[in-house]
Amino acid sequence: MHRVWPDQSAPSQGEAVPEEHDPELDALCCFIYRGNRLLSYAAILNFTLSHAEQTFSVAALSCVATDPAYQNQGLSSLVVSAATRCIENSHADIGLFTCDPPLASFYAKAGWPAVSGVVVIGSHDACALSSAELGKVVLLRLLSEHAHDHAAAFANTTLSLGLPLGQFV
């Protein structure tokens, strides 16, 4: 992960590797290893969303990354496809995540439509991260009957994820 996002500090020799994901988010990881080298990775974070007086189970794609030395070989497509199948076969009501605008077409090929008019915020805290302020595209899929029954609640809205300050999807 630190080869893809070098601005994140890697642990020093002998130092414990920190948790990549908050344990509260019950992360499920999809990855491709060759030998002992991690080549490509995607995580699915699970949490509950309270929105429009309803409660929804969310599965959020997160931290999709491929080692730069192995990019353009279809590995990201493989891990995103595997993660997407896990989300589709889960009990989640909605699938949700954000990405940089140039990546939206990549995720669309994997079945993740970008939605306009939806802003995702980490929480209602004044300093919470926001898809609008970060310049991110919101990708959203309604998966369950419960979500489809409340589809109107996911149009032209702000979704507050209720995450701790500094966390985002």
Tokens of 14: 């002998």
Q: In this structure, what token pair is assigned to residue 158?
A: 């702000």
Kindly tell me if the per-residue pLDDT of 23 is higher than 90: no
DSSP state of 152: G
Number of helices (H) and strands (E), helices first, in the chain? 4, 8
pLDDT of residue 25: 67
Residue type, 109: K
Which backbone phi and psi does 69 adopt, to 5 degrees? -70, -15
DSSP secondary structure, 103-126, as one string: GHHHHHHTT--EESSEEEES-SST
- Residue 17: the pLDDT is 38
pTM, two decimals, is 0.84
pLDDT score for 2: 38
Average pLDDT for residues 15-40, to the nearest whole number?
72
Of the ranges 23-27, 93-97, 150-154, 164-168, which one carries the lowest mean pLDDT score? Answer: 23-27
pLDDT value of position 103 = 97
Q: How confident is the model at residue 27 (pLDDT cuts 50, 70, 90)?
A: confident
| Other residues' Cβ atoms within 10 Å of the Cβ of residue 39 | 20
Measured in whole angstroms, the distance separating CA 108 from the mean position of its chain's CA atoms is 14
pLDDT score for 28: 82
Q: First-to-last CA distance in the chain?
A: 16
Beta pairing partners, 57: 48
The answer to whether the CB of 162 falls within 8 A of the CB of 58 is: no
Does domain 23-160 match CATH 1.10.8.60? no
pLDDT at 64 over 70: yes
When pLDDT is cut at 50, 70 and 90, the band that residue 1 belongs to is very low
134 token code pair: 């970060």
